[in-house]
Amino acid sequence: MGLDTSLDGLVTAALERREPERDAALAVLASHDADLLDVVAAAARVRHRFFANRVKLNFLVNLKSGLCPEDCSYCSQRRGSTAGVLRYNWIDPDEAAAAASAAVAAGAARVCLVASGRGPSERDLVRVAATVGEITRRHPGVEICVSLGLLAEGQADQLREAGVFAYNHNLNTAASRYSEICTTHGFTDRQATVATAARGGLSPCSGAIFGMGESDVEIVELASALRDLGPESVPVNFLMPFEGTPMGDRDELSPQRCLRILSLYRFYFPDVELRLAGGRELHLRSLQPLALHVANSIFLGDYLTSEGQPGAEDLAMLADGGFVLEGDPGPRSPAASSAVPSSPAPAGRPDRLTPSAAGGAGGAPGVARPVAIPRRRGPGTPEPPNT
Ligand code: SF4
């Protein structure tokens, strides 16, 4: 079967909300760079059918950073990590709400409250409820998602009663290789938490991280497992390699590979919020705007422990592409209507791409190796957030 036939079949199935045929899915991942625009255009047909030109902005607030007892090998907050990330205990509700307010003012429709750890204690839930209360008091219309690790039975109900809308818990990688990236909990633990959240009335959010050595077959396997969970939003992350973690020197993604994976996930999740998440700037680089024709959601500004591009650049990129924000009341800032010059990295802060003798993007000559840059502003610091 040629690629054109596979793409036609994938679009037809997606518009009917059917799961992709496995061979056609694998053909997308195996397609040549010369066919990239055909792949993106096919996924864009699906994206535009269900989401037109709308983009949802999400904003991350890291409530508690580092010091995690779990050993997820991709994570800068894992036990034993020597990554130079911020380490702090729970920030207070006012600090979290102030960061959320800045993001809402910039157009964020969802605030994602995250804390490192295996799972929340009862005391943690009380803290989170206070923070949710403060944010919803200031912004009654904003969606609150929380991500606190593995949930015990009943905890989702407590969160829902506190005003939480969604719960994030990613499956991250295929079941068949989960033990290669984490030994302190398993794939089925993660599946169970997503199911617990949904049973408790929270909107399930669950996604993936790519660039950790997974094969095409494993990417398809994970897509199918995620689809079985019935998520209402699916974050697609591309590994942000942190020096000081076991995956700090990984460099296996190209912008084209990222776009093929993202497009494939649109076929699997045609009418679901598909979020282009961590690693967007590092791995898509100048091709970020193309990805917006596939994903309908991004994070504004920084990530949990690493920097994103300036929030004003995110907004300018959306405006330049003719996208509108979900829930947008109208123009809010001149930055959203014209190109915004890149802010130079402050003195002492390295650029996001570190030159490498071997070259980045899987060793492509002339391309810098991607390295995550630790966040030094926003929650947990005296500096304002990047919105
Ligand atoms: S991903 Fe979560 S559970 Fe795993 S090490 Fe990082 S903070 Fe801990």
Q: Is the pTM of this model over 0.75?
A: yes
> Does 97 contact ligand 1 (Cβ within 6 A)?
no
> Does 75 contact ligand 1 (Cβ within 6 A)?
yes
Q: What pLDDT, on a 0 to 100 scale, did the predictor assign at position 200?
A: 98
Residue 349 has pLDDT above 60, yes or no: no
Averaged over 237-265, what is the pLDDT? 97
Q: What pLDDT, on a 0 to 100 scale, did the predictor assign at position 362?
A: 54
- How far, in Å, is the centroid of ligand 1 from the Cα of 100? 22
Position in ligand 1 atom list of the atom nearest CA 81: 5
Q: What pLDDT, on a 0 to 100 scale, did the predictor assign at position 327?
A: 80
Position in ligand 1 atom list of the atom nearest CA 68: 8
Q: What pLDDT, on a 0 to 100 scale, did the predictor assign at position 330?
A: 55
Count of domains for the chain: 1
| Dist CA 7 CA 324 (whole Å) | 27
Q: Residue whose CA is closest, atom 5 of ligand 1?
A: 78
Averaged over 33-57, what is the pLDDT? 98
Query: Using the 8-state DSSP alphabet, how is residue 27 labeled?
Result: H
- How far, in Å, is the centroid of ligand 1 from the Cα of 69? 8
Q: Which helix (H) or strand (E) holds 59?
A: strand 54-64
- How far, in Å, is the centroid of ligand 1 from the Cα of 180? 15
- In the three-class reduction of DSSP (H, G, I as helix; E, B as strand; rest coil), residue 114 is classed as strand
> Does 70 contact ligand 1 (Cβ within 6 A)?
yes
pLDDT tens-place string over residues 152-195: 999 999 999 999 999 999 999 999 999 999 999 999 999 999 99
Q: Which of 227-231, 281-285, 330-334 is the least confident region?
A: 330-334
Higher pLDDT, 158 or 354: 158
User: Crossing angle, helix 255-268 and helix 216-229, to 10 degrees?
Assistant: 30
Give the model's confidence band at 334: pLDDT under 50 very low, under 70 low, under 90 confident, else very high.
Answer: very low
Helix ranges (DSSP H) in the chain = 3-15, 22-30, 36-51, 93-106, 122-138, 155-161, 178-181, 187-199, 216-229, 255-268, 288-291, 311-320
> Does 68 contact ligand 1 (Cβ within 6 A)?
yes
Q: Residue whose CA is closest, atom 7 of ligand 1?
A: 116
Look up residue 211 and give its amino acid.
G
Query: Using the 8-state DSSP alphabet, how is residue 351 labeled?
Result: -
Q: Which of 46-50, 261-265, 347-351, 367-371 is the least confident region?
A: 347-351
- How far, in Å, is the centroid of ligand 1 from the Cα of 117? 6
Within a domain: 8: no
Q: What pLDDT, on a 0 to 100 scale, did the predictor assign at position 1?
A: 75
> Does 116 contact ligand 1 (Cβ within 6 A)?
yes
Q: What pLDDT, on a 0 to 100 scale, did the predictor assign at position 345?
A: 41
Q: Domain range holding 67? A: 51-339+351-370
Question: Which two tokens mark 215?
Answer: 């094969």
Computed over every residue of the chain, the mean pLDDT equals 92
Contacts of 59 (CB under 8 A, 6+ apart): 99, 100, 103, 104, 108, 110, 111, 112, 299, 300, 301, 385, 387
The percentage of residues in the chain with a pLDDT greater than 70, rounded to a whole number, is 90
Cβ of 384: how many Cβ atoms within 10 Å? Answer: 11
> Does 101 contact ligand 1 (Cβ within 6 A)?
no
Specify the CATH number for the domain of residue 236: 3.20.20.70
Within a domain: 66: yes
Q: Which of 70, 85, 148, 173 to mutate to test the pocket of ligand 1 (most atoms within 8 A of CB)?
A: 70
Averaged over 308-320, what is the pLDDT? 97
Give the model's confidence band at 340: pLDDT under 50 very low, under 70 low, under 90 confident, else very high.
Answer: very low
- In the three-class reduction of DSSP (H, G, I as helix; E, B as strand; rest coil), residue 65 is classed as strand
